[in-house]
A and B are shown apart, each in its own frame.
Chain A
Amino acid sequence: DGGITQSPKYLFRKEGQNVTLSCEQNLNHDAMYWYRQDPGQGLRLIYYSQIVNDFQKGDIAEGYSVSREKKESFPLTVTSAQKNPTAFYLCASSIWGSGELFFGEGSRLTVL
């Protein structure tokens, strides 16, 4: 079945540790996105990529990094520079220009 797979679903880390969240899609979509959601709030864009080997900062990129070496994959690293990393992280993809987003099931990160 086509879709987006995020892993891990739940992750616990100590303060000061970098964490990498995986996002893989087999929908052949060009565009991929990372969002963060805090309780009671909407989704905020961290980074997005329209094409392989290219990505742009979203609204809250500080403390995060990404790579796009393959069309199918868009991993997100939450670095120790991110002040409040505990959140629900959602990866999405879309056909470029369509605006219709397909989401993975999300990764819930808790920093202890």
Chain B
Amino acid sequence: RKEVEQDPGPFNVPEGATVAFNCTYSNSASQSFFWYRQDCRKEPKLLMSVYSSGNEDGRFTAQLNRASQYISLLIRDSKLSDSATYLCVVYNTNAGKSTFGDGTTLTVKP
């Protein structure tokens, strides 16, 4: 079983749709959690950090459930520019390294 698992996708949605991505992690020692966005053939860029209390940034909401070892990302009112691959990342402070999920690809269509 992979340490970080994401919905395989791809997700193809119309503009204006709400879409949710899920991610589970197996290492309970993981201490920090992030969503990154990666455009085709580009480097990943931080989208948002994920906290137990949940956090929101405009149309994006991230949630962490430590008991279930589950992370989610909700995108409301999808835009064409949201089309990208979304990577779930968990960081283990003790080990000093991050583990990436394989990513979920989103395509928003007109």
Interface residues of A (CB under 8 A from B): 31, 33, 35, 40-45, 48, 50, 56, 58, 88, 90, 96-101, 103-106, 108
- Which residue from A43, A97, A100 sits with its C-beta under 8 Å from B34? A100
- Tell me how far the C-beta of A106 lies from the nearest C-beta in chain B, rounded to whole angstroms: 5
Stretch at the interface among B52-60, B61-69, B99-107: B99-107
Question: How many residues of B are counted as interface, with CB atoms below 8 angstroms from the partner's CB atoms?
Answer: 24
A42–B98 CB distance below 8 A: no
For the residues of B in contact with A, the DSSP-based class is strand
**Number of inter-chain CB pairs below 8 Å:** 58
- Which residue from B32, B42, B87, B99 sits with its C-beta under 8 Å from A98? B32
Chain B, residue nearest A48 (CB): B97
Residues of B contacting A108 in the complex (Cβ-Cβ under 8 angstroms): 41
Q: How far is B4's CA from A42's CA once the two chains are assembled, in angstroms?
A: 10
Contacts of B1-53 to chain A: CB distance below 8 A: 4, 31-32, 34, 36, 41-46, 49
Q: A42-B101, A48-B96, A48-B97 are in contact. List 17 more A-B contacts (CB 8 A).
A: A31-B96, A40-B102, A42-B103, A43-B87, A43-B100, A45-B98, A45-B99, A50-B96, A90-B43, A99-B91, A99-B98, A100-B46, A101-B46, A101-B98, A103-B43, A103-B44, A106-B43
Chain B, residue nearest A99 (CB): B91
Interface residues of B (CB under 8 A from A): 4, 31-32, 34, 36, 41-46, 49, 87, 89, 91, 93, 96-103
